[in-house]
Chain A
């Protein structure tokens, strides 16, 4: 018997069908209802759970009351224990947070949740990387890397976790998209945080070359390269993202996963600093910027690291930007360039061109950077 948690955001996805690009906030939800939106989360969840009915005996299903899981579990014929219930029929983000915390306390093996980026954000805020979670895509906005490709795939992965066929978890990005911008068709995904998801990559055995090095190994290798290149008389402005983390760890420093740190001669000068703080620390001294693209679109600058402003970039200068990324990340871009959108057209133009991107220890690639088109 393994404990499986289930949280359904019952209103997820309602905005999409009526062109609202999300249902964040009560007003929007109201407007969606007025436009005749109907919830899809229940049916998506049903599709996912269908993959678990065959192994129901191996699962202790924990869920939340009413539309947040209880109903759909019953509809699928799965016995479930309730760890709580929403306080009001119109559920809110607080209910998701409370449910996620309760599941964590109950010690679930996997937390399956149905929703969109907003739901992922709420769960991330509630339990961070303490719980292994996986999203059933049911929302309008799916930019986070914590969702399965479709509800069936989510169910299949959950079944594999229960069966013990997936034993690894990896950190995946939770993206935060401003719905207002999104409605105006401005893409502004920011890195919000990370959830741990089951590592569902199928490790094929039909190897004909060497074993691939794991993503974690590659991040460590990138850190080795950065450490080897470091000079004591420079400031290093280190951007957000897990790729930069092993570098800071190697130096024995605390890394701000979602912010910017400044270091020099192996010491942390600034932690989670603002644009102004960066400028005042650096103050015309030589400095290097270490950044990694975040999110599926390959944004290098201007998303989630706005602290690194046009002024900071001018201070650093283009040739002192160390771009780091794993090969897997670059491959996921499908040949599209890395993007810069600093809000200043001249800066974006200045930043465009080919960069030597560090992909490992003594390994790099030459990759194009350009403003979004």
Chain B
């Protein structure tokens, strides 16, 4: 049944349930869950509890939540889940820059235990030694992988780690009396857009460097950019196009010479674990994404975690508390002389931290390096075969190799057939594949970014390649098939015109009913 066109492609189709919006399932009186009545002694002592709510603060009518029986609620969300494409089900190499690797189930099972779930952040330290040990040891592991001296696990994501880096840098200059004069931060266009946006949120002026013809950020431009106003540099390496910048130590040197601080966005660390580190390139700060490189699942867009590392000097500015160990017990360490304060309430996204720890424990030093090496092997295998597909190119000639991902372009295909990268994406969806393009603005025309990680077998990579080849063939022979894709989606062509019209957009069901009328909602019959 499987192969069509003599290839490995699947006749994929998600379950289509035509599922209602939860509010449409409401029947007055149905109940999804009960809460217990309070003990008699309690009601005897305090009455109904609600009568004493001050009149000005009493809710006048109950919230118009749907009333749905328990099994129907379950069924509703299970059906929605079946209309979603998780990495566990597809060959998720097409979501470049996100390092979609296998998130081991055993780690989910462990994270689901009461010993992890059912602990409160303000418990006495003596009662959470297990949790603190995990955080402390993970800090030690990250020190090894980066060469930095201390990590905070508080930032909630990569972007949040960038904001926290900006806060650390701000504090560092503040302590030196230079916070007001050092107001410029430098980054590159191929770094994550949050490198610029999060730094700007902290009040910095942003200078963005563009790549030279080789695809490297322009070193001469950096030299022209730095001055006594430079607060620091935020940069990824390899950048999102997958080329390793061999001059990176030159970049940090130029910035250090003017008194700036260098922060390494290690979102693309998966190909270089154990190969090269922030320390060797002389960075002062760096961060890892635990939901990327260290296997925690992406959860439809979080929870996530960004572990922020610092050299000995910069560790004095990290958010509190850090986690310490006195040889006998683990403790929350608030003794950070110039701390920025807090990046997040409490100590970090513990379930994510726990899963990253378990993953590293499973890999060990050798396994981490092997994961990096195979991720790079897989990527260069795809690189070789994708650039052989007529219509696909990889811009920039710098670097013979690519590290863990490549940003490709469908520009030639588009010019030849009118089929663009968006069309290709939607057609690939018909075969159960996802393909992501690029951040905005598109520096590479008609971009697509592929990062295979170490998780997928050669057969799976070959299947994905067949998908790409097939769609490219269709673009030439039956472009309409590609243009009108997807054909197998559970949802048909969506009317996107409402999303930009304030009179029509509806961000909640109640807004929909107001703008489009109750009748419009009942059209389903």
Interface residues, chain A, with chain B CB atoms under 8 Å away: 149-150, 152-153, 156, 164-165, 167-168, 202-204, 206, 208-210, 212, 327-328, 330-331, 334-335, 354, 356, 359, 362-368
Contacts and interface: CB of A to CB of B under 8 A. Distances in A.
Interface string B204-216: 1111111111000
A335 B208 contact: no
B497 A167 contact: yes
A149 B446 CA distance: 12
A240 B93 CA distance: 45
Interface residues of B, number: 50
A251 B204 CA distance: 25
Contacts of B415: 149-150
A208 B159 CA distance: 11
A105 B440 CA distance: 38
Contact of A202 (B98, B222, B422, B479): B422
A363 B208 contact: yes
Contact of A366 (B97, B225, B436): B225
25 contacts: A150-B415, A152-B417, A152-B418, A156-B418, A168-B500, A202-B420, A204-B437, A206-B434, A206-B436, A206-B437, A208-B97, A209-B194, A209-B440, A210-B197, A331-B443, A335-B210, A335-B213, A354-B220, A354-B221, A362-B200, A363-B205, A364-B206, A365-B189, A366-B209, A368-B220
B442 interface: yes
A164 B193 CA distance: 31
A209 B157 CA distance: 12
A156 B436 contact: no
A327 B189 contact: yes
Contact of B441 (A203, A327, A356, A367): A327
A356 B207 contact: yes
Contacts of B189: 327, 331, 365
B170 interface: no
Contacts of B213: 335
Given A152-B479, A202-B422, 12 more contacts: A167-B497, A167-B500, A206-B425, A208-B436, A210-B197, A328-B441, A331-B442, A331-B443, A335-B212, A359-B208, A363-B206, A363-B208
A16 to B, nearest CB: 17
B98 A208 contact: yes
Contacts of A212: 440-441
Given A149-B418, A168-B500, A212-B440, A364 B205 contact: yes
Contacts of A204: 422, 425, 437
Contact of A363 (B196, B210, B436): B196
B496 interface: yes
B279 interface: no
Contacts of A209: 159, 192-194, 197, 439-440
Contacts, number: 100
A114 B434 CA distance: 37
B414 interface: yes
A362 B192 CA distance: 18
Contacts of A330: 210
B98 A367 contact: no
Contacts of B48: none
A165 B422 CA distance: 15
B483 interface: yes
A367 B210 contact: yes
B218 A366 contact: yes
Contacts of B207: 356, 363-366
A152 to B, nearest CB: 4
Most interface-central of B205, B208, B221, B420 (chain A CB within 10 A)? B208
Contact of B193 (A156, A210, A328, A365): A210
A354 B422 contact: no
A149 B414 contact: yes
A367 B221 contact: yes
B213 to A, nearest CB: 5
A363 B200 contact: yes
The 9 closest A-B pairs by CB, nearest first: A212-B440, A366-B221, A354-B224, A152-B418, A202-B422, A362-B205, A153-B418, A328-B441, A366-B225
Interface string B170-209: 0000000000000000000100111011001000111111
A212 B209 CA distance: 18
A331 B204 CA distance: 23
Given A164-B495, A327-B189, A365 B441 contact: no
A365 B205 CA distance: 11
Contact of B497 (A156, A165, A359, A362): A165
Contacts of A359: 208
Contacts of B483: 156
A165 B483 CA distance: 14
A331 B395 CA distance: 13
Contacts of B437: 204, 206
Contacts of B192: 209
Contacts of B418: 149-150, 152-153, 156
Interface in B392-424: 414-415, 417-418, 420, 422
Contacts of A206: 425, 434, 436-437
A366 B224 CA distance: 7
B387 to A, nearest CB: 18
Contacts of A364: 205-208
A365 B209 contact: yes
Contacts of B220: 354, 368
A150 B417 CA distance: 9
Nearest to B420: A202
A208 B95 CA distance: 10
